[in-house]
Amino acid sequence: MTEPSREARADALLSAGQDERNRRLKIFLGAAPGVGKTYAMLSAARELKRQGVDVVIGLVETHGRAETAALLEGMEVLPRRAVRYRDRDFTEFDLDAALARKPAVLLVDELAHSNLPGGRHERRWQDIAELLDAGIEVYSALNVQHLESLNDQVRRITGVTVRERVPDAFLDRARDIVLVDLPPRELIQRLKQGKVYVPETAAAALDAFFSPTNLAALRELSVDTVAGHVESDLRGAMLARGGVMPVRRRVLAAIDGHAQSEYLVRVARRIAERRGAPWSVVFVDTGARLEPARRERLDSAMRLARRLGGDAVVLRGHAVADELLAHAEREGVGQILLARTRERLFARMVGRSLTQQLLRRGAHLELTIVATPAERAASRRRLRLPNLPGGVGRRGEYLYATLASLAALALAFIGERYLSVANLSLIFLTAVLVVAVRTRMAVAVYTAILCFVGYNFFFAPPRYSLEIANSDDVLAVCLFLVAALVCSRLATRLALQVESLRTAHVHARALLTLGQRLASSTDAEGIRTVGAAALAQALRCEAALLARDAGGALQAAATAPREWPLQTQDLAAADWCERHAEQAGRYTETLNAAPCWLLPLGGEDHPLGVAALRFAPDAGEPDPERRSMALAMVQDIGQALARARMADELEGARVQGETERLRNALLSSVSHDLRSPLASMIGAAGTLVSYEDKLPRDERRQLLEAILGEGQRLDRYIQNLLDMTRLGHGTLKLNRDWTDAAEIVAAAVHRLRKLFPALRVDTELPPDTVLLHVHPALIEQALFNILENAARFSPDGEPVSVAVRVERERLLLEVSDRGPGIPEDERARIFDMFYSVSRGDRASQSTGLGLAICRGMIGAHGGSVEALPREGGGTTIRVSLPLPEPAASPA
């Protein structure tokens, strides 16, 4: 016993809160038909209706019982869905009508019922699961013999194999389980009175299922089931309140694909439920080739484990005991369940059987050996007809081994002229190795025995007799047999390991290739194209990745290896698969009439589409290796799509933030740079209007010049805004013409001197004429913006220098000032619109657009602009423009 940690208590409280919200199922459980489950369910529903609860009857089977039918009076009953099956008309529960009506409580009888083909789900419990997910509270009825984990026990008790079964994990969703009980004598009396079945059926039932012994045993099973769930609820409640609970260790069932595998899975589920422990089923793949029947049994057991709520795990390794013990240590396993199997005599003698290894090395584990009826029957058969070690092989393998032995015998007859008798054994040993590498262990042992007999009979003296005259030859022949057996074992194990490594390499290579291709894809479209191609190539099937279009409908966004259409059934199953984040279609129990196997790419909260895999119509269900590879690849594709979506969302957030920043900066700039000149102009104009006759001529001229200057400033600001708009929309047209770089510099300097008459500008021009094929006005405007920026930050009395030079087929224009300079981390951002700092393109009368416009204009000509530090302090803005090729220059 251990005190739960604060984290465990918090998890338990959170789980309890979620259970209160999510567990909306109430099950009326009985030991057999006729105990009154439907009657009790209807009685509870009528009481709820009397209390004002919205209760609706989804489906109730009265089986002709008048007292049960009477309880339906006054209740709202949903119409059933008509189904045509094998030229007969049937009615089924209408799931869509129930979801559309969405009452507070819905009654759906016969939880274990199998739906007719054509419905959304194969089983009724799956319909109820969808109702629960939609937030509807459901009442249903169930007989205990329909529980999956009790199937073997029910078959042993009654001799009847129940086909309609409900996974035990589904009962974990029940908030309440009501045990409806009736003593066996009273139930048999009801049966005789015709209250359960019609008389003809009742007589047969009394002779078979409804015997007093069977009913008593089923009654005990139902009580144990309810008690187990009560104990589980109590355990969760105590843990949430801080009660002391025992440490829960995982229960592990090790299966091998033989007939007892499903029985062992059910036993593991029952043991884990009683202990309130997690559980899992493990198969250790040693690389041995499994016969189709054994592979099918293994897959069936794995599916059963998943249905019952356990984990299905496949381990790979050549030593079963090592892999089981390592997995047990990693996962915190406290109990290992093994089926009782026939151990080889040699393995028992040397203590190398799986059971003995686990007992010797797993001292901290509880080891449970389960004897199954199938194993006992098989043991009796083995007593009557013993088999070769490793099982009976295919005829072709033994024929191949016989031919190899005969070939070795022929080569030995040829080689006895040149080799000694001892060396002839190497020929037979080679034959054993060849057979061991290409077949199974049993066939290799068969070959070793044949070669041993042939070597002894034909070559060991006395020849043509199994007797051995020389004692030394006895040792040699015995050593040959031992060497042959050991070599066959090692060769077989090596071949199996190579095959296992080859399979693992194929899977790893497929995942690595997919990861590399996904890494090179930057958008969702590219990811889907790459993912569909990788799935089709690795799984040897047709693959499609579906995504929702603008109208919200699922459509094939990428297909491989060629374009192929999806059927309506596939699209309907894909829609359900994405909404519920669960597999659907072929190889599943949901909408399995669809030809495609459909896998969700995202979660229920973040759907990212669906992967559709279409195999050949006659192809069987994918083996666990292909299934696990498909799931792993789909998971990688989903994660890549999630990353792409996150990148898009981050980029959208960044753009939105930048847009908001620019909007605020624009409003601030417009508010300052429009209102300031307008205020000056209005003030000067108002003074002239009010005091025109009283002002001296010089003052009037100063006011008029102020109006003119502020108007020109306002005109430049509006022109800058228009230029930025044209640059942003890509509508700025370049009217290229040949011009001299010196003329552009002279024109820009001339404009600057009108604004800053006292500023000294030093120019350094190349001695030769440098022709540019540009839009002269735009380049002049860009250079003027740089000069104006430098002039505003240049100290009084300090010059602004302009240098023009040619370097590596580019023209460099450098404008330098001796201002405060620009920090290194801000030099790239001064070319952004409205970037507000106290240095760079900022001044009391700056708009924050000059250098941004400059970069746009220069960039439109294929040039670049950068800010550099100047030696001795200050900043240099360098403009780089491409020079035209000599052949393109005007003559």
Q: Are 130 and 143 in contact (CB under 8 A)?
A: no
| Of 448-462, 620-634, 808-822, minimum mean pLDDT range | 448-462
| 208-213-216 Cα angle (round to 5) | 115
Residues across the chain: 891
Q: What is the pLDDT of residue 452?
A: 78
Predicted confidence (pLDDT) per residue in 73-128, tens digit:
999 999 999 988 888 889 999 999 999 999 999 999 999 999 888 788 888 999 99
Beta bridge pairs of residue 76: 56
- 548 residue type, one letter: R
Q: What is the spatial distance between Cα 189 and Cα 191, in angstroms, rounded to a whole number?
A: 5
- Whole-number average pLDDT of the chain: 79
Listing DSSP states for 558-621 in one string gives: EEESS--PPPHHHHHHHHHHHHHTS-EETTSSBSTTSSSEEEESS-SSS---EEEEE--TT--P
Q: Are 831 and 865 in contact (CB under 8 A)?
A: yes
Q: What is the spatial distance between Cα 146 and Cα 615, in angstroms, rounded to a whole number?
A: 33
Q: Is the pLDDT of residue 727 over 60?
A: no
Listing DSSP states for 746-785 in one string gives: HHHHHHHHHH-TT--EEEE--SS--EEEE-HHHHHHHHHH
Sign of torsion over alpha carbons 720, 722, 724, 727: negative
Q: Are 744 and 780 in contact (CB under 8 A)?
A: yes
Q: What is the spatial distance between Cα 756 and Cα 706, in angstroms, rounded to a whole number?
A: 15
Q: Are 877 and 822 in contact (CB under 8 A)?
A: no
Q: Are 606 and 564 in contact (CB under 8 A)?
A: no
Q: How confident is the model at residue 484 (pLDDT cuts 50, 70, 90)?
A: low
Beta bridge pairs of residue 590: 121
Q: Are 477 and 460 in contact (CB under 8 A)?
A: yes
Q: Which of 271, 268, 176, 275 is nearest to 235 (CA)?
A: 275
Q: Is the pLDDT of residue 611 over 60?
A: yes
Q: Is the pLDDT of residue 661 over 70?
A: no
Segment 659-665 mean pLDDT: 61
Q: Are 597 and 588 in contact (CB under 8 A)?
A: yes
**Helix, strand, or coil (residue 179):** strand
| Of 191-200, 214-223, 245-254, 853-862, minimum mean pLDDT range | 191-200
Strand 137-143 relative to strand 25-30, pairing: parallel
Q: Is the pLDDT of residue 175 over 80?
A: yes
Question: How many CA within 13 A on the CB side of residue 690?
Answer: 6
Segment 475-483 mean pLDDT: 68
667 vs 88: which has the higher pLDDT: 88
Q: How confident is the model at residue 393 (pLDDT cuts 50, 70, 90)?
A: very low
| 607-609-612 Cα angle (round to 5) | 140
Classify the phi-psi angles of 641: left when phi > 0, otherwise alpha if psi is within -120 to 50, otherwise beta: alpha
Segment 142-149 mean pLDDT: 88
Q: How confident is the model at residue 389 (pLDDT cuts 50, 70, 90)?
A: very low
Q: What is the pLDDT of residue 235?
A: 63
Segment 603-624 mean pLDDT: 85
Query: In sequence order, which residues have a C-beta less than 8 Å from that of residue 529 and are 6 or more positions away?
Result: 521, 558
Segment 774-790 mean pLDDT: 84
Q: Is the pLDDT of residue 392 over 50?
A: no
| Of 94-103, 323-332, 446-455, minimum mean pLDDT range | 446-455
**Helix boundaries (H) for 77-120:** 95-101
Tokens found for residue 36 = 């009154």
Q: Are 162 and 145 in contact (CB under 8 A)?
A: yes
Q: Are 821 and 827 in contact (CB under 8 A)?
A: no
